[in-house]
Chains A and B, each alone.
Chain A
Amino acid sequence: MKSMVRTGFVIALAIIFLASAGYAADSKYSADTIKKVDECKTLKRDKKDMAETLSGIKNLKAEELKSWVDQKKKIVILDNRPADEYEKEHIPGAVRLNSDDLLEDSKKAEQAGLKKDDIIVNYCNGVKCWRSPAVAVMLQNLGYKNIHWLRDGLPEWIKKGYPTAEGK
Chain B
Amino acid sequence: MEEKCKIEKQSGWSNLIKNEDWLAVWLGFLIIVLIIVCYQTKLIDLSKISTNFKWTTDSQIASRTVKWKNAIDPLMKEAQAKGEEGTVVRLQALKEALDSGDRKAILKAAGKVENVGGIPAELGKEIADRSKAETAKVFKWDNLSNVLKVGIAFLIISSIGIILLGRTIGKYIVGFPIVFSLAWLSRFLAGNALPSDWGIEYVIFALIVGLAISNTIGIPEWLREAVQTEYYIKTGLVILGAGLLFFEIVQAGALGIIQALLVIFVVWYFCFWLCRKLKVDDDFAAMLSSAVSICGVSAAIATCGAIEGDKKKLSYTTSLVLICAVPMMVLMPWAVKAFGIPEIVGGAWLGGTLDTSGSVVAAGALISEPAMKTGVIVKFSQNALIGVAAFILSIWWTFKAGAAAGQKVSAGVIWERFPKFVLGFIVASAVFSFVLPLDMVNDTKKTLGELRTWWFALAFVSIGLETRFLDMMKMEGGRPAAAFLLAQSFNVIWTLILAYLLFGGIIFPVPDIR
Contacts and interface: CB of A to CB of B under 8 A. Distances in A.
A38 interface: yes
A19 B443 CA distance: 14
A5 B79 CA distance: 62
Interface in B97-128: 111-112, 115-118, 121
Interface string A105-139: 00000000000000000000110000000000000
A45 B442 contact: yes
Contact of B29 (A12, A100, A159, A161): A12
B437 A23 contact: yes
A162 to B, nearest CB: 7
B13 A155 contact: no
A155 B116 contact: yes
A45 B438 contact: yes
A15 B90 contact: no
B87 A159 contact: yes
B435 A20 contact: yes
Given A5-B13, A45-B438, A161 B85 contact: yes
A109 B86 CA distance: 32
A46 interface: yes
B122 to A, nearest CB: 12
A16 B117 contact: no
Contact of B440 (A5, A12, A23): A23
B438 to A, nearest CB: 5
A22 interface: yes
A155 B115 contact: yes
A156 B86 CA distance: 9
B437 A160 contact: no
A15 B33 contact: yes
Contact of B86 (A2, A5, A162): A162
Contacts of A2: 13
Interface in B1-41: 13-14, 16-17, 26, 29-30, 33, 36-37, 39-41
Given A16-B431, A23-B40, A23-B439, A89 B115 contact: yes
Contacts of A47: 514
A41 interface: yes
A155 B37 contact: no
A1 B115 contact: no
B17 A160 contact: no
A29 B40 CA distance: 22
B89 A19 contact: no
Contacts of B41: 19, 22
Contacts, number: 86
B354 to A, nearest CB: 28
A45 B440 CA distance: 12
A154 interface: yes
A88 interface: yes
Nearest to A89: B115
B258 interface: no
Contacts of B17: 1, 5
B305 to A, nearest CB: 25
B117 A88 contact: no
Interface residues of A, number: 33
Interface residues of B, number: 38
Contacts of A157: 86
B505 to A, nearest CB: 19
B117 A12 contact: no
Nearest to B39: A19
B409 interface: no
A122 to B, nearest CB: 17
A158 B118 contact: no
B16 A5 contact: yes
Given A45-B442, A88-B115, A161 B84 contact: yes
A16 B118 contact: no
A15 B90 CA distance: 49
B111 A159 contact: no
A165 to B, nearest CB: 12
B497 to A, nearest CB: 31
Contact of A19 (B16, B29, B37, B79): B37
B152 interface: no
B117 A125 contact: yes
A96 to B, nearest CB: 16
A42 interface: yes
A157 B26 CA distance: 50
B436 interface: yes
Contacts of B121: 155
B435 A154 contact: no
Given A15-B37, A23-B437, A45-B442, A154 B86 contact: no
Given A1-B14, A88-B111, A161 B33 contact: no
A161 B89 contact: yes
A158 B87 contact: yes
A137 to B, nearest CB: 15
- From B85, B116, B437, residue with most partner A Cβ within 10 Å: B437
A17 B431 CA distance: 10
B431 to A, nearest CB: 7
Closest A-B pairs by Cβ, 8 of them:
A155-B117, A161-B85, A161-B86, A159-B84, A19-B40, A2-B13, A158-B86, A41-B438
Given A20-B40, A160-B85, 5 more contacts: A12-B33, A19-B36, A20-B435, A126-B117, A158-B117
Interface of A: 1-2, 5, 8, 12, 15-17, 19-20, 22-23, 38, 41-42, 45-47, 88-89, 100, 125-126, 153-162
